[in-house]
Amino acid sequence: MSGDDELATRTWPEIEAATVFVPLGSTEQHGPHLSLGTDTAIAVAVARGLVAVHGGLVAPEIAYGSSGEHEDFPGTVSIGAEALELLITEFGRSAMRWAARVVFVNGHGGNVGALAAAVTRLRREGRDVAWLPCGTAAPDPADTHAGRIETSVMAHLRPGDVRPDRMAAGETRPLDELLGVLRVAGMRAVAPTGVLGDPRGATAASGEVILAEMIATARARLEGTVDRYGCLQKVLT
């Protein structure tokens, strides 16, 4: 992707009142086989894909999020929900002094509570701010963290961040069966290797297809309506 659509490479007279896409990720364990920057890399790729089809600018990514449930694993850095909510709120207030719209592109499920709180507040204040998740049209509840989906997308985006020799099946029960323990005791209590899903069989080729589907799903949301959590929802036709 050229630097043309990147906020950070423009000068101020080159800024028009455009939609600004803000990748929001995490620095968080993704099993023994996938890098800590996975969520951020995927959010950046989806934001760039959106700008390519929709226009607008990609802001420098927010690479830290609310990842408390992963803090038992070395490398994870969580700023927590409270700090993240404040960060998103002040980002939106500042950027909306010149942007036409701000859309946060979220790569990490743990950020959703803070995102919803901050974005609904910004909207109450009269600012055109919204968010959308990075996901496929029909998410697999048994592949939610460092499984085949994320591993494939990373094999496509950043093959050097994948360690094929360390891929192993993690906990493969659906997420809703695990959430109770996950929220109270953290990821390590649910999945000792930090994987929810099975990364084996991930390929760069399927990652390219999955990423394209994530971008298409995000684009469909962009044309849709904002729900009471500030999240863009595709209009059902």
Q: Which residues bind Zn ion (CB under 5 A)?
A: 38-39
- Taking the complex as a whole, the smallest distance from the CB of residue 18 to Zn ion amounts, in Å, to 28
- Taking the complex as a whole, the smallest distance from the CB of residue 86 to Zn ion amounts, in Å, to 23
- Taking the complex as a whole, the smallest distance from the CB of residue 38 to Zn ion amounts, in Å, to 5
Closest CA to 146 of 199, 222, 191, 92: 199
| Residue among 39 and 85 whose Cβ is closer to Zn ion | 39
| Residue among 5 and 28 whose Cβ is closer to Zn ion | 28
List C-alpha distances in Å: 140 to 8, 42, 58, 136.
35, 17, 28, 9
| Residue among 16 and 173 whose Cβ is closer to Zn ion | 173
CA–CA distance, 51 with 71 (Å, rounded to integer): 33
- Taking the complex as a whole, the smallest distance from the CB of residue 22 to Zn ion amounts, in Å, to 17
| Residue among 109 and 230 whose Cβ is closer to Zn ion | 109
